[in-house]
């Protein structure tokens, strides 16, 4: 298995995943859908955002799979997704496509 050298972050603004049970259910679906291709590494909540962290060797391919899960669960419109090298600070935004907004994890 290639090294999981990237961290993909799914960021939900405001109360779109404020219900803890909804977030946990989504995390479990992501774990199931991603299988061994990536490692869902937990979440954090606060500062009016919820983040789900995923370690992966190929953030673009992983988001392609995650996107299908989010679409099925009706969460694609409320998410921003970006990745960085595990030991890096600069995030590259994958979703929404073409976004120029700076991505930060609070």
Domains, the chain, ranges and CATH? 6-95 (3.30.70.600)
Ranges under pLDDT 50 in the chain: none
Task: Report whether 53 contacts 43 (CB < 8 A).
Answer: yes
pLDDT at 46: 79
The residues that bridge with 27 in the sheet, in sequence order, are none
pTM exceeds 0.85 for this model: yes
- Residues contacting residue 106 through CB under 8 Å, at least 6 positions apart: 46, 47, 49
């Amino acid at each position: 298995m290639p090294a999981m050298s990237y961290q993909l972050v799914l960021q939900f603004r405001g109360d779109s995943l404020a219900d803890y049970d909804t977030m946990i259910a989504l995390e479990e679906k992501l774990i199931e859908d991603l299988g061994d291709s990536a490692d869902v590494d937990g979440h954090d909540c606060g500062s009016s955002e919820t983040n789900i962290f995923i370690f992966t060797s190929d953030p673009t391919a992983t988001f392609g799979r995650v996107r299908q899960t989010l679409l099925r669960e009706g969460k694609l419109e409320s998410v921003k997704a970006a990745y960085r090298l595990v030991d890096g600070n600069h995030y590259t935004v994958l979703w929404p496509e073409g976004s120029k907004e700076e991505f930060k994890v609070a």
